[in-house]
Amino acid sequence: MLQEFKKFALRGNVVDLAVGVIIGVAFGKIVDSLVGDVIMPIIGRIFGGLDFTNYFIGLTTAASQAPTYDAAKKAGATIGYGTFITVTVNFIIIAWVLFIVIKGMNRVMKAEEAAPAPPAPPTKEQELLTEIRDLLKARA
């Protein structure tokens, strides 16, 4: 059973998947930082210094009177639409980058398919048949 697991775990597809997941998690953290630390502050500044992280609707009296989203969540039910906006921007950026990457990969794949393969060198049998053909032509 251990040998079967080792065979499964060390297969190329499983290792490739693991590497993809690890890179995806790291890429997600980079995009989170890009959106939270670069893009959203710029968007907030354009709209008059807004901080999207504290945009919420309190569904209880205590949550409605809270000064921050974190305090509102502790006080009761809230709808954090500012956080939703930030996550949506995150998703759009990730989707756009993946689109660009896949588009580039498709271009490379098409270029590889379009390039004709060099002709294979003739086999010994083909060389012999060519010699026989040439000798028959010379006799005629």
Round the average pLDDT of the chain to a whole number and report it: 82
pTM: 0.55
Domains of the chain, first to last: 2-139 (1.10.1200.120)
Among 75-79, 112-116, 133-137, name the one with the lowest average pLDDT.
Answer: 112-116
Q: According to the model, what pLDDT value does residue 36 have?
A: 78
Between 81 and 18, residue with greater pLDDT: 81
Euclidean distance between CA atoms 10 and 3, whole angstroms: 11
Percentage of residues in the chain having pLDDT higher than 70: 94
Q: According to the model, what pLDDT value does residue 31 have?
A: 81
Among 58-67, 72-81, 111-120, name the one with the lowest average pLDDT.
Answer: 111-120
Q: According to the model, what pLDDT value does residue 51 have?
A: 67
pLDDT (tens digit per residue) in 5-52: 777 766 667 777 788 888 888 888 888 888 778 887 887 788 776 667
| CA proximity to 51, closest of 37, 71, 61 | 37
Q: According to the model, what pLDDT value does residue 18 have?
A: 80
Among 67-71, 117-121, 131-135, name the one with the lowest average pLDDT.
Answer: 117-121
Percentage of residues in the chain having pLDDT higher than 90: 3
Helices and strands: H and E segment counts in the chain: 7, 2
Q: According to the model, what pLDDT value does residue 12 have?
A: 65
Euclidean distance between CA atoms 33 and 98, whole angstroms: 17
